[in-house]
Amino acid sequence: MTERPGFGASTRLPGHGCMEHADDLAAILDELEVESVPVYGQSGAAPYILAFAARHPGRVRAATILVGAAPLVDGEASQLIGINAESNRLAKAGDAGAMNQLLVPVRDSLLADPLASFREVMETAPPLDQAIMRDTAWQQALARGITEALRPGVEGWVDESMALYAGWPEIDLAAVRTSLTWWHGDSDRNSPLSAVQRLIERLPDVRLIVWPDAGHLTPYRHEDRILDELIGRS
């Protein structure tokens, strides 16, 4: 696993887009003397996986994206949970200062009580997401992940939010030639399925698998199947 710029132990890169982290991943593989790997990631990892596959196609044997983010059009932001809808609005306005003001108190709350704060952020998520949030093993992993990711400060989250909702014009989707499977829930309120369907129409080799009545946390219930499918294409 790697941590994206500004999260956990990874140095912040102010104003970054999606391509810089792709080069970071290639450099890490060089350091480890690994030629190519199967790659997978979830949610906000989507543009970074696509950027890596487009920029360094020989390094990716196969790719999987789980409930990935996708560029939105007018009207789709209304389908998002509240904090994501507001982040989308601020990013499209180019207002990093207001993004910082939005996320600072959320970060403070998440670090003080990760589970309660995450439940509050996800209060409008579908029932299957609510059920997963009651799973004790999932709760423990969430607390560890949030504490690690947000430990250095809010700036990395601000940078990433500005990049995530910018439409990703720097990614050449036609250059993503690797085999890609995209798993998504049809009731995901963090990334609308309609945005994903529009995005994957621009990818040369992609298979979309849709979980019915499912939300953003559904991959937690299917990790074995997801990894088996990825390794089978590698």
At 76, which CATH number? 3.40.50.1820
User: 84 in a domain, yes or no?
Assistant: yes
User: 67 in a domain, yes or no?
Assistant: yes
User: 6 in a domain, yes or no?
Assistant: no
Q: Are 147 and 111 in contact (CB under 8 A)?
A: yes
User: 78 in a domain, yes or no?
Assistant: yes
User: 45 in a domain, yes or no?
Assistant: yes
Instruction: Report the predicted TM-score, pTM, of the whole model to 2 decimal places.
Output: 0.95
Q: Are 179 and 62 in contact (CB under 8 A)?
A: yes
User: 9 in a domain, yes or no?
Assistant: no
Q: How many structural domains does the chain have?
A: 1
Residue 191: C-alpha distances to residues 9, 18, 71, 188 (Å): 27, 18, 9, 6
User: 8 in a domain, yes or no?
Assistant: no
Digit-by-digit pLDDT tens for the chain (234 residues) are: 899 999 999 999 999 999 999 999 999 999 999 999 999 999 999 999 999 999 999 999 999 999 999 999 989 999 999 999 999 999 999 999 999 999 999 999 999 999 999 999 999 899 999 999 999 999 999 999 999 999 999 999 999 999 999 999 999 999 999 999 999 999 999 999 999 999 999 999 999 999 999 999 999 999 999 999 999 999
Q: Which structural domain, as residue segments, surrounds residue 102?
A: 19-232
User: 5 in a domain, yes or no?
Assistant: no
